Homo-oligomer: A and B are copies of this chain.
Amino acid sequence: MEFQDVVRKRKMVRSFEDRPIPHESVERILANARRAPSAGFSQGWGFLVLEGKQEAARYWDALWPADRRADWGWPDLFNAPLLIVCLSNKTQYLRRYAEPDKGWTDMDARRWPVPYWDIDTGMAALLMLLTAVDAGLGAVFFGVFDQAKLRATFAIPDEYTAVGVIAVGYPKPTDRPSPSLKRGHRAAAEVVRRGNWH
């Protein structure tokens, strides 16, 4: 698909058909995640793949208790045949920047103006969301609030933090957009400034 069409068509999809997606799409999504840029080429990230509705059910059972699922407005989210947990690893960035070419041997996180471990992992997540659209699929990105439960459920080391989870599948035509979109875009003049902020 044309790049600009992918950007235009990308939206968060929360209702999926109850059927698998091609395994080659899963692999292309993951390959593109690994093409994301990262500070110092640290690549301090990890992608935990839960392929198939049965595997994904382990995530829902552990992280979305039954009462939360019952209250959730998009029950067909749980049909998603693919979940990818996007994890950032701050320690790998601190280690990378302690190497001679960077020289931050104190590994002091206060040197970092913003957390590139989370930002770079977010860029990888966006590449996956876009690749899903290019593959004729839909996807959504959502946060993980119980990081300890996530680590315990999937034996993830403490140095990884989930930046979010991507669910992928064939979109259901009955999917509804997030009510948040009714807010509309912030005005261009508020967001885009020229020369100076004011």
Contact = CB atoms under 8 A, between A and B. Distances in A.
A138 to B, nearest CB: 13
* A contact face: mostly helix, strand, loop, or mixed: mixed
Interface stretch (A14-22, A150-158, A168-176): A150-158
Nearest to A126: B123
B122 A155 contact: no
B126 A4 contact: no
Given A114-B143, A122-B119, A143-B113, A193 B43 contact: no
B114 A118 contact: yes
Most buried by B among A3, A46, A48: A3
A113 to B, nearest CB: 6
A12 interface: yes
B126 A161 contact: no
Contacts of A196: 48, 154-155
Report the interface size class on chain A.
Answer: 35 or more
Copies in the complex: 2
Interface of A: 1-8, 10, 12, 28, 30, 32, 34-37, 39-41, 43, 45-51, 55, 88, 101, 113-116, 118-123, 125-127, 129-131, 134, 141, 143-145, 147, 154-157, 160-164, 178-181, 183, 185-186, 188, 190-198
Contacts of A191: 34, 43, 45-47
Contact of A123 (B8, B115, B122, B192): B122
B49 A194 contact: yes
Contacts of A194: 48-49, 51
Nearest to A41: B180
B49 A163 contact: no
A36 B130 CA distance: 11
